[in-house]
Amino acid sequence: MKPSQKPVYLKLRDSIANAIIDGTYAEGAMLPSVRAFAADQGANPLTVAKAYQLFQLDGLVEVQRGVGMFVAPGATERLRRSEREAFMAHEWPEVRERIARLGIVPSELFAET
Identify which of 28, 21, 13 has the alpha carbon closest to the alpha carbon of residue 68.
28
| Residues 90-103: tens digit of each pLDDT | 999 999 999 999 99
Q: Domain count of the chain? A: 1
The rounded distance, in Å, linking the Cα atoms of 96 and 13 is 26
CATH of the domain at 37: 1.10.10.10
The rounded distance, in Å, linking the Cα atoms of 34 and 54 is 13
- The residue type of 68 is G
Structural domain range at position 93: 3-109
Mean pLDDT taken over the chain? 93
Provide Rg for the chain, Cα atoms.
17
Tell me the residue length of the chain: 113
| Residues 29-58: tens digit of each pLDDT | 999 999 999 999 999 999 999 999 999 999
pLDDT reported for residue 3: 57
Identify which of 6, 21, 3, 9 has the alpha carbon closest to the alpha carbon of residue 51.
9
Q: Using alpha carbons, list the distances in angstroms from residue 10 to 48, 65, 113.
A: 9, 24, 34
The rounded distance, in Å, linking the Cα atoms of 21 and 47 is 22
Q: Is the pTM of this model over 0.85?
A: no
